[in-house]
Structure 1
């Protein structure tokens, strides 16, 4: 074989090899994921709140949570709604302690995400759920117990909705704030870590008094 042909063949083989390596490297780069896929995905994307929360988030001390559930006489067959549920501790505690099914309502998506994580840690996701919702747009008709930690004006604004949606005999417990002219059946003081807390207890009557309609 002539020398110039031999050089041509050798250069062609080398060029083909380089091109092949480059193509393989480009393919591998495309095939490799851009980030690790071993992380646990979030249970749900965090949504934006519909509007600003009605009240600031202040967690209820655990001692008060337990007393609220005792005051409401929560049982396994109850359906508990916590309005302004925050990190979910009331419905989670009810599920752990009594086996109660519960729903937490909060307008803040960060609180909902936190509550879902807490329910997962507590192992009660089969009994509780959390909804990012405006409490004034929430259907409470299947509740047998409702717990609140809102503000006096929000409680009074919510009162017609409670009368309209809740069945007679439904128990309501409010932390620290009453409901205006609707007088509670019981008022209980609970000592927390830093201060004393007041709990108010009502039962939805068969007939709503005229002054409360």
Structure 2
């Protein structure tokens, strides 16, 4: 059931599901209206479309946030049309969403944010030596690296991010933090030289992990650490698994290169 996610990015897969269901309900609407001898309200159709889309989306193995988005999208769109909002609102909202969730559309990597409890666990994994170089691949809003930079002023932290708005915010917040051991780059993680880092951390998705792990093995120095939040690499057992005492029972998978 996961083939849809593998063939399409989640954004386009979700839109395809909505489009197919909308087409089917549009064809059935006159039949239903005749059967119940009354017009079918648009709100009923929107709610029905959202419910069916949520069920189908979950059936294809999408996560709960995607299911919720599919449930609420049709009625929210209907309400926006009823409110007669200016036409420019919709492309602006779409553009902002694309700029925030860029990596979902182009690389099937959602915007996952590392919580503070997990950041504390990562801090404990860092080598004690001075001058440690760490990279966060897909650093999002940069909260993890700001926390680490504050508590390890003797180390150097670099965030790589290609979603425009998260990168801009992380860069700005990094500057405002005053940390001089922290930098953010607008750079594709597969174009970065991982050999420059003693520790590489990522919280991505299952999709890029095999290729990324292969890259890490080829480039990272012997003895360096590759840490994945939650996502395994098929055929490669981690040397250590750290179970974080947070709400989602996060697991940090640690490989020594």
Whether these two folds match at TM > 0.5 is yes
Residues 1:184 and 2:210 are matched in the alignment:
no
Find the partner of 1:150 among 204, 207, 211.
Answer: 204
- Of 159, 171, 175, the match for 1:120: 175
Taking the TM superposition and a 5 Å limit, the aligned residue runs for 1:27-42 are none
1:162: how far off?
Answer: 0.6
5+ residue gaps, structure 1, are: 1-45, 205-213
* Secondary structure in structure 2 of the residue aligned to 1:153: coil
What do residues 122-156 of structure 1 show as CA deviations (whole Å, max 9, x unaligned)?
211x2111111111111122100100101123111
Quote the Cα distance in structure 2 between the aligned partners of 1:174 and 1:83.
10
Query: Is the alpha carbon distance of 1:135 and 1:89 closer, same or farther for their aligned partners in structure 2, counting shifts above 3 Å?
Result: same
1:95 counterpart = 2:149: yes
The alignment's TM-score, normalised by the length of structure 2, stands at 0.56
Greater Cα offset, 53-62 or 141-150: 53-62
Larger radius of gyration: 1
Task: Please give the root-mean-square deviation of Cα atoms over the aligned residues, in Å.
Answer: 2.0
Higher helix share: 2
Residue by residue over 1:22-58, the C-alpha shift from the partner in whole angstroms, topping out at 9 and shown as x without a partner, is xxxxxxxxxxxxxxxxxxxxxxxx9xx7972441112
Partners of 1:76 and 1:101 within 8 A in 2: no
What's the TM-score, normalizing by structure 1? 0.67
Separation of aligned partners in 2, 1:189 and 1:92: 22
Structure 2, gaps ≥5 residues long: 1-98
Q: 1:199 to 1:151 in 2, by over 3 A?
A: same
Runs (4 or more) in structure 1 with deviation over 2 Å come to: 49-54, 71-76
> Secondary structure at 1:196's aligned position in 2?
coil
Cα deviation per residue 1:137-182 (whole Å; 9 max; x = unaligned)? 1112210010010112311111121111111111111111122211
Alignment match of 2:164 (pick from 100, 109, 113): 109
Structure number with the bigger relative contact order (C-alpha 8 A, sep ≥ 6) is: 1
